[in-house]
Amino acid sequence: MATPVNNSDVVALDRANVFHSWAAQGALNPLAIAGGAGSTVWHHEGRTYLDFSSQPVNTNIGHQHPRLIEAIKQQLDTLTTVAPSHANHTRALAARKVLSHAPSNMDKVFFTNGGADANENAIRMARLHTGRDKVISRYRSYHGNTGAAIVATGDWRRIPNEYSRGHVHVFGPYLYRSEFWAETPEQEAERALQHLRRTNELKGPQSVAAVLLETVPGTAGILLPPPGYLEGVRALCDQHGIVLILDEVMAGFGRTGDWFALDAFNVRPDLITFAKGVNSGYVPVGGVIISEEISATFDERGFPGGLTYSGHPLAAASIVASIEAFEEENIIGNAARIGADHLEPGLKALAAKHGVIGEVRGRGVFWALELVEDRQNRRPVSAALMGRLKAELLHRGLLPFIADNRVHVVPPAVVTPGEIGLALAIYDDALSNTN
C-alpha cells in the first residue's frame, strides 16, 4: 500500500516538482485534492468540498462515474493503445456516438488530445478547404493554448503568444457591457453583426477562411448570444464562402442543458470543436466534428495533420460510456431542469439580496454572477475582493470558479437539487461576509 500522505506533504511535493499553468510559480498555494465522487471532492485529511467549478468546467458527468471507470478498465484489458492509422472498433463507436447528437450535416470526427488542438486543426481544415488565410474571432473568448488557438483567443493570454499569422478580432455581443451603446438584446445583436460585417469587408472577404466563435463564451463570462446573432453570423459566412467554426469545448455535452449549446439556436456550423464534457476529462481527448462538404475536400487530398494519440482507445472507451450514461440517465435533462428550476431562481434571489451582484446570466449548469461596486456605474469589484470571496467560499466547503470580477456557477450536470440548495446558502453566506 502507498504511504499515507497529508495535504502539506502533497503541496510541498507539488511545489518542488510541478510547473503550473497560467501562474507565477513562487506565489502558488494549491489546494490538494485526494478524491471525489459526483459533485464532491475531498482532500487528504477528509475535508469535503462541493465542486462548483467542475474542475476547469469539464467534469460534466461528475467525479468517478462508475460506468466510465468500468469502460476504461475493460479497454485496458483489451487494447491499451493503437496507432491512429489503424481501424479500431472502440474509436469508431466513439465517433458514431458523437455524430449521433451533432447536426445532420456532419459526417466525420477527427480526434485530438484536447480542446486547444481541436481548434488548431479546425483552423487548419478551414484554411485548406477555402484556400484562404484569415480567421476572425472575438476579443472575449478563449480557444486554447496552442499556436493558432491562443492567438485566436481574445483575452490577455493572447498578447505574449502572438506568433501565429492571419488573426483578426472583433467585439461580440455583451449587452451588460455593450461596446455598441445598445439598449436591447436585438440592438446588441444587430450592431455586433454590423461590426462583424464591416470588419470582414475591410479585411477582404475573399481572404477570410473562417469565423471561429464559442457558441457561448465560457471563461470570458458565460455570454449567451442574443436572438438573431448566430443566425446572422451564419448568413454572413454563407454569403462569402467562409467556414463557420463553433467552439463547443466548454459549452458542449450538457453544460447548457443541451447536447450542444448550438441546439438552442437556429444555426448549423461547418465545424464543431469539442473536448471537456464529452468524457469529463477522465482521459485526455477532444475533436473536430466535420461537415460533409469539408470532409469531402480531403477525399482525394491528404490532410496534413495528425497526432500520435488521436482517438486513443482508452479515451474512446470513456466517450462511448459517457454518452451512453448521458442518454440512459437523462443527464442532459437533469442539467436543463437544474438550471430552470433551481439555479436561475436561486441566483436571481441572491442578486435581489446582494447589491454587489450586477447581473445573473446563464443556462443549464452554466451561470455567471458579475460583481460590481455599484449597479449604476457597473464598475467591476477589485481583485482583492474576489480573492476574499474565494477564501470565504472555500472556508465554507465550496470549490468555486472565479474569473475576473465574476463567480461562475458551473457544477457537474449530475448535481442534485439538494446540492444546489446547499451551494446557494454558501454563496449567500460568503457574500454577506465579504467586504
Residue 137 shares a structural domain with residue 169: yes
Q: Which of 328, 358, 393 is the last residue of a domain?
A: 328
Q: What is the pTM of this model?
A: 0.97
CA atoms of 307 and 169, how far apart (whole Å)? 28
Q: Which of 328, 360, 385 is the last residue of a domain?
A: 328
Residue 342 shares a structural domain with residue 324: no
Mean pLDDT of the chain: 97
Residue 212 shares a structural domain with residue 295: yes
Q: Give me the pLDDT at residue 2, please.
A: 61
Crossing angle of helices 313-328 and 66-78, in 10° steps, is 150
Q: What would the mean pLDDT of 214-220 be, rounded to a whole number? A: 98
Instruction: Look up the CATH number of the domain holding residue 46.
Output: 3.90.1150.10
Residue 274 shares a structural domain with residue 380: no
Q: What digits encode the pLDDT tens for the residues 238-256?
A: 999 999 999 999 999 999 9
Q: Are strands 401-403 and 208-214 parallel, antiparallel or unpaired?
A: unpaired
CA atoms of 396 and 119, how far apart (whole Å)? 37
Nearest C-alpha neighbor of 399 from the set 78, 51, 85, 13: 51
Helices (H), 241-354: 292-297, 313-328, 331-337, 344-353
Q: What digits encode the pLDDT tens for the residues 256-280?
A: 999 999 999 999 999 999 999 999 9
Residue 367 lies in a domain: yes
Long-range contacts of 302-306 (CB under 8 A, 24+ apart): 303/110, 303/125, 303/128, 304/124, 304/128, 305/110, 305/121, 305/124, 306/84
Residue 103 structural domain: 66-328
User: Left, alpha or beta for 311 (phi > 0: left; psi -120 to 50: alpha)?
Assistant: left
Q: What phi and psi values does residue 87 have, to the nearest 5 degrees?
A: -80, 140
Residue 2 lies in a domain: no
Bridge partners of residue 357, in order along the sequence: 371
Residue 7 lies in a domain: no
Residue 318 shares a structural domain with residue 354: no
Residue owning grid cell 456516438: 97
CA torsion sign for 372, 373, 374, 380 is negative
Residue 305 shares a structural domain with residue 394: no
> Alpha-carbon Rg of the chain, whole angstroms?
22
Residue 231 shares a structural domain with residue 254: yes
Q: What digits encode the pLDDT tens for the residues 357-399?
A: 999 999 999 999 999 999 999 999 999 999 999 999 999 999 9
Residue 4 lies in a domain: no
Q: Within 13 A of 29's CA, how many CA atoms are on the CB side? A: 2
- What's the total number of domains in the chain? 2
User: Left, alpha or beta for 330 (phi > 0: left; psi -120 to 50: alpha)?
Assistant: left
Instruction: Look up the CATH number of the domain holding residue 162.
Output: 3.40.640.10
Residue 171 lies in a domain: yes
Hey, what amino acid is at 59? Answer: T
Residue 302 shares a structural domain with residue 356: no
Residue 137 lies in a domain: yes
